Structure 1
Amino acid sequence: MSTTITMIAAAAENDALGKENDLVWHLPDDFKRFKQITSGHFIIMGRKTFESFPKPLPNRTHIVITRQKDYQPEGCIVVHHLEDAFKLAEDESEVFVIGGGEIYDQAMPYADKIELTRVHGTFEADTFFPKIDDKNWEVIREQHHHKDDRHDYAFTYLTYRKK
């Protein structure tokens, strides 16, 4: 069985992901979708992304990548290289890379699928999602979500598959 490696992110039209280790928007429906898609799976992230959560996310196996040799948060598997994270999840049908920017950059060549929430706006940020090259990726699903009383920005769910 081969594992599908899926990168999942919410990024603005300028590929902004966040600023100062926090998201620059609040989209409750996107959080719900993230929870639905990733529940029951391994999630791979960098240390700063993990530390941006108030606590580990329920019903998911957390693999945290860090250069810190003595880092061991409770309830997480710690590795020092992306390839080690993939090895740990090789028996899974699908594994999710959830950030941050540096981890997305490293994971892009390995990814089979991208679940991207494209937030319609341009934001000041210090972390960005890598460019998605149309030569290598195709959109296989697209669903638009309008701005409303719970969402300050319109956004589109895009599912990409590697060509």
Structure 2
Amino acid sequence: MYVLNEETFTVVAVVAAARNGVIGREGEMPWKLPSDLKRYRALTMGRPMIMGRKTLESIGRVLDGRDTIVVTRSGTPPIDGALAAGSMDEAMSIAASCARARGTNEIVIAGGGEIYRAFMAFIDRVEMTRVEIDPQGDTSFPELDSNQWKTTSDVAMSRGDKDSADARFLSFVRTATEKAP
């Protein structure tokens, strides 16, 4: 939970990760899963999303119906329409303002690997697409400690014709409280 001025926000990581934890290779995902992109859209629509510069650049644009807050040292968003934050605190504050304006209490952490690790103490829930492959990669999602996280949902993805791998949709909630910075 993130609390700002007595308002409470649920922080949700949305991620697609292979069995071996890989989420990216050379700025791209090492799979094609149009079926997962539909789920991603549903989970993030109408919510502010915090991501790193590399993740935004790999997407190539801000996504409609969502606020994109990019954590960047340059102070300038790399893509028009994104909001720049120079720190985690600033990103959370901007996201809370955007959430309030949109009438939601959820803030999405959308990657990449460094951002997931940096914001892990804030995250209350993880919505993961577990891709059933073990690709090579240079970016990974942090392992969830089973003493701190409980699986609340595990559903097989219905594989479409254009999906390059099987996958499962998993939901995790934090069971042990770790103090956010």
* TM exceeding 0.5: yes
Range 61-70 or range 45-54, more displaced: 61-70
Cα distance in 2 for partners of 1:73, 1:122 equals 32
Cα distance in 2 for partners of 1:137, 1:60 equals 27
Shift of 1:149: 2.7
Partner of 2:82: 76
Shift of 1:150: 2.4
Change (3 A) 1:150 1:73: closer
| SS at 1:22 equivalent | coil
Partner of 2:4: none
C-alpha contact 1:146 1:153 (8 A) present in aligned 2: no
Range 102-111 or range 69-78, more displaced: 69-78
C-alpha contact 1:42 1:61 (8 A) present in aligned 2: yes
Shift of 1:71: 4.3
| SS at 1:67 equivalent | coil
Tell me the TM-score normalised to structure 1 length: 0.94
Task: Provide the alpha-carbon RMSD of the alignment.
Answer: 1.4
Paired residues, number = 163
| SS at 2:54 equivalent | helix
Tell me the TM-score normalised to structure 2 length: 0.85
Unpaired runs of 5+ residues, structure 1, are none
Percent identity over the alignment? 33
Q: Which runs of 4+ in 1 moved over 4 A?
A: none
Alignment of 1:24-103 (within 5 A): 24-71=30-77, 73-91=79-97, 92=99, 93-103=105-115
Q: For 2:161, which of 141, 145, 149 is the aligned residue? A: 149
C-alpha contact 1:63 1:76 (8 A) present in aligned 2: yes
Partner of 1:115: 127
C-alpha contact 1:9 1:99 (8 A) present in aligned 2: yes
Partner of 2:102: none
Greater helix share, structure number: 2
